[in-house]
Amino acid sequence: MINIYDTANKLASEFQETDQFTNLKKAIAGVKENETSLAIYREMEEFQKGILEKQQNGQEMTDEEKAKYQELNQKIQNDPHVKQVIMAEQGIYMLLDDIQKTIAKPITDLYEDISIHSGK
């Protein structure tokens, strides 16, 4: 019998050898080496956490928070290190999405015959 966790661990190991992972690793190192970039990244992270909590509680962003978002977005756009992390994250998430679709394909195929979109 196959141990799927062995396969998952192998995938995790190979994932770390991809260009996308390497790009993210380098981008994060760039942020860590620059105090200003690190401060901006942490500010962005904290702001996003607060907004996510509000959204989960059904609350809207205040005008003050919208202004803060605009200000923070400008800081990010002006900081090459933080901007590079965001771009590298996009590459990682696209790769992960492709992998997830590949792994889930057998499940999707199982449902194909009973789906209202199958035409059967």
Nearest residue to 31 via CA among 73, 87, 70: 87
**pLDDT tier at 5, thresholds 50, 70, 90:** very high
| pLDDT at residue 46 greater than cutoff 70 | yes
pTM over 0.75: yes
| pLDDT at residue 108 greater than cutoff 80 | yes
Give the pLDDT mean for 6-31: 97
Q: Which helix (H) or strand (E) holds 106?
A: helix 80-112
Name which of 8-12, 73-77, 111-115 the model is least confident about: 111-115
Count how many Cα atoms sit within 13 Å of the Cα of residue 59 in the half-sphere of its side chain.
10
Which residues touch 50 (CB under 8 Å, ≥6 apart)?
none
Nearest residue to 84 via CA among 36, 49, 43, 41: 41
Give the pLDDT mean for 34-49: 97
Query: What is the 8-class DSSP label of residue 118?
Result: S
**pLDDT tier at 67, thresholds 50, 70, 90:** very high
For residues 25 and 1, what is the distance between their CA atoms, to the nearest angstrom? 36
For residues 21 and 33, what is the distance between their CA atoms, to the nearest angstrom? 18
